[in-house]
Amino acid sequence: MINSNQNLKRRSSKKNKIVPNRDDRHDLVQFRLAYTNRVKLNDSITEVKGVGPEAAKKLNNLGLKTVNDLINYYPRRYDDYSEVLPIAKIMPGTVSVRAKILQVKGRYVRRGMHITEAVASDKSGSVKLVWFNQPYRAASIKPDAEYFISGQFELNYRRLSIMNPSMELVSLFPVSTARIVPIYPETKGIKSLQIRKIMKNIMPSIKALKESLPSWLIVEHGLISRAEALLAIHFPENGDELTKAKKRLGFEEVFELTLASLLNKYQIADETALKIPFNEKLAKDFVKHLTFKLTDSQRKAIWQIYKDLERTQPMNRLLEGDVGSGKTVVATMAALMAMEQGFQVAFMAPTELLARQHANTIHRLLEPLGYGGQVSLLIGGLTPKQKTEAHRRIKDGSIRLIIGTHALIAEKVNMHKLGLVIIDEQHRFGVEQRKKLQAKAGHALHVLNMTATPIPRSLALTLYGELDISVIDEKPVNRKPIITKLVSPTDRLKVYEKIKKELSGGRQMFIVTPLISDSDVLDVASAEKTFEEVQSDFSNYKVGLLHGRLKAEDKAKIMQKFVDGELNILVSTTVIEVGVDVPNAAVMLIENPERFGLAQIHQLRGRVGRSSDQGYCYLMLDGNQPPSQRLRALESNSDGFKLAELDLELRGPGAIYGTLQHGQLDLRIAKLTDTKLIAQARASAQNFIDKKESLSQYPALHKNVSALQAVTTLN
């Protein structure tokens, strides 16, 4: 995510600028590279000057394999060193000077630390430069040469010095000094300086980029060209140029995403799915056998789904509900209508643990109506004999609701008459996997996507423009808000006493840690170490350990023991984050909550308080820093939608994308708070379709939109 302009350190002053303007720089760069073949977009990064085999391996770790990948690798922020001042006029803060180095010396001090000190001078005065642990500095400095020097001018042992400055010989195109300097996401062995030098070497390729948007759209919204925008995003001449680049690239991001969504929607509308009529008596019988009352938002959601299923136009709906809001019941009611017509339903869950739990829950819900025997679990953890029997019954149609993980997509599974697909936490499945399910049916499918991650409306419309959205925004009537408390490590024993009262009353407890095993790098709690400590601290209670390294069958056994009440405490990693339903669990203790996202903590605490009993969530701080605004918000707010809005405001869409869909959906430039830009981009996408524009006329746009179309649709 690129920092907003207000976060860019701006001290520009035209009269103080010594650096030539962009055109002069580009002309010189073009002249210098005139005899160098311009690398092509699909060329390997090894074709770029400055990228050897070792550097290529490290860049590959960042997902950078082609020249095009490099061009689209945006800085995460910028440092503004563009104002070059005489030494006599610099003030504490970010500075840039143009000077010669008069003297330089290096020495080792205590514990092996190396300090290099130098004096830089121009006609107005001198200033001290200090570098820590950069012993190569002294030998690299050329006498009588002029350098651009940029860094922080601050107190060091009671004397103002420029600390750890970047320094490069004066030229018409510096990359790390005397300009707005891009700072890129880095990896071990690859720093921003090296990335900047590589970017400089592919500038001819950036300048040669063809336009990706229609000319009428560029003129209508006053956008700069694609080549200009990408040059400016990597090497902006000034803040105004950077703003224009962000506007162009941000507009293009939303335009592409919206256009992909609209094309999906129109494509789905032209296909034909099986009609699943509404059976009012069956729906009423189902509700009559429930041990609880449906909320109004559950009733509204299922009615929207029933209306969709009655049409031959394929349903493509997102059922969005906060933790514990009752999405599984709604999904079961939808599945029931398909089963009644003799159609099959594939219910896909992200983990075997969750698939088993869904199977138990749904079987219990359908058993009173006589449909329990038509429900089957299909996961990798079944025995060969169990799998063979399940495959046979799926093929002959005697099983109508198949609940599983990726095993549902296996070639051996032959569906009898698949009509509806329900995908829980739909972001965890790739589009290719979903396409395989549709291929088994031989026709378009009704699709119900479910997510327990509350998504702010602005984000939902941008992400899932092709989906109809149903929202369950109420909790069951007997649920109490979970009491959430931030806890200092010094109060750990006091909290343990409160927890023991709950345990002595027959309740159960989750303890969640960030790591499985202890780390030499991170000083945070691990599940294995915590398990040992909890066994000692809660010696009168039975403690279990659950984490991702365990075999699937072992995880299932441990979880079942906890469900059956054989374990009082379950120490776990985030494998229990989504969907685990143990009504008797009343306490959640999260170690090192700073290591988790706000939405993730909200998901975790949703594992408790799932009955009429009071639920408690304790966030055990590490004691080194005061709690953040995000963590404090959890104490006073139990509304997942409000918390998601806060995460969006504080951390940007990446906070929510992290729990939704990685990669292609990331808005790296556009801000969801920029409602004007988003509205313009959406309107332009509709305009593009109304004008009957052909994507094939715009190869780059076609490629990106096609990739985005594949992310959230079955088609």
For residue 120, CA distances in Å to 19, 98, 157, 253, 465 come to 19, 9, 18, 45, 57
Total count of domains within the chain: 4
> Does 466 reside within a domain?
no
Which uninterrupted H or E stretch holds 224?
none
Same domain, 140 and 68: no
Same structural domain, 384 and 353 = yes
Among 637, 652, 685, the domain-final residue is 637
The CA distance from 572 to 570, in Å, is 6
Alpha-carbon torsion (516, 521, 524, 529), positive or negative: positive
Instruction: Report yes or no: 558 and 492 within 8 Å, Cβ to Cβ.
Output: no
pLDDT for 320 equals 87
Residue 251, pLDDT score: 95
DSSP symbols for 447-514: EEEEE-S---HHHHHHH-TTSEEEEE----TTPPPPEEEEE-GGGHHHHHHHHHHHHHTT-EEEEE-S
Question: Looking at 135, 159, 177, which one is the last position of a domain?
Answer: 177
Q: Quick check: is 557 in a domain?
A: yes
Given a contact cutoff of 8 angstroms between Cβ atoms, the answer to whether 46 and 65 are in contact is no
Whether 366 and 509 map to the same domain: the answer is: no
Q: Are residues 572 and 440 in the same domain?
A: no
Residue 32 shares a structural domain with residue 124: no
Sign of CA dihedral 30, 33, 37, 42: negative
Q: Burial, 8: exposed, middle or buried (Cβ in 10 Å; 0-12, 13-18, 19+)?
A: middle
Query: Are residue 191 and residue 42 in the same domain, yes or no?
Result: yes
- pLDDT bracket for residue 20 (50, 70, 90): very low
Same domain, 187 and 58: yes
Tell me: do 184 and 42 sit in the same domain.
yes
Which residue range is the domain that position 138 belongs to?
A: 83-177
Task: Give the torsion sign (CA, 640, 646, 649, 654).
Answer: negative
**Beta-strand pair 114-122/316-321:** unpaired
Q: What is the pLDDT of residues 339-357, one digit of tens each?
A: 999 999 999 988 888 888 8
318 lies in some domain? no
**Residue 163 is assigned to a structural domain of this protein:** yes
Write the pLDDT tens digit of every residue in 148-182: 999 999 988 788 999 999 999 999 999 999 999 99
120 and 61 together in one domain: no
Structural domain contains residue 257: no
- Same domain, residue pair 346 and 441: yes
CATH, residue 118: 2.40.50.140
Q: Are 378 and 402 in contact (CB under 8 A)?
A: yes
DSSP 8-class letter at 409 = G
Quick check: is 269 in a domain?
A: no
Q: What is the pLDDT of residues 33-69, one digit of tens each?
A: 443 458 899 999 999 998 999 999 999 999 999 999 9
Length of the chain: 715
Strands in 109-171 per DSSP E: 114-122, 125-132, 146-156, 159-169
User: Do 502 and 599 fall into the same domain?
Assistant: yes
In a domain, 270, yes or no: no
- Any idea what the CATH number is for the domain that residue 305 is in? 3.40.50.300
Of 517, 515, 590, 511, nearest to 543 by C-alpha is: 511
Tell me the pLDDT tens digit for each residue of 74-130: 999 999 999 999 999 999 999 999 999 988 999 888 778 899 999 999 999 999 999
Q: Is 431 inside any structural domain?
A: yes
On whether both 163 and 200 belong to a single domain, the answer is no
Burial 675-690 (b: 16+ CB within 10 A, else e): eebbebbbebbeebee
Last-in-domain residue among 191, 208, 225? 208
Alpha helices, H only, 156-313: 192-201, 203-207, 215-221, 226-234, 239-269, 280-288, 296-309
* Backbone φ and ψ of 317, nearest 5°: -120, 145
Q: What is the pLDDT of residues 575-617, one digit of tens each?
A: 876 667 788 999 999 999 988 877 788 888 888 988 888 999 9
Nearest Cα to Cα of residue 339 among 412, 417, 444, 281? 417
Cβ pair 510, 587 in contact under 8 A:
yes
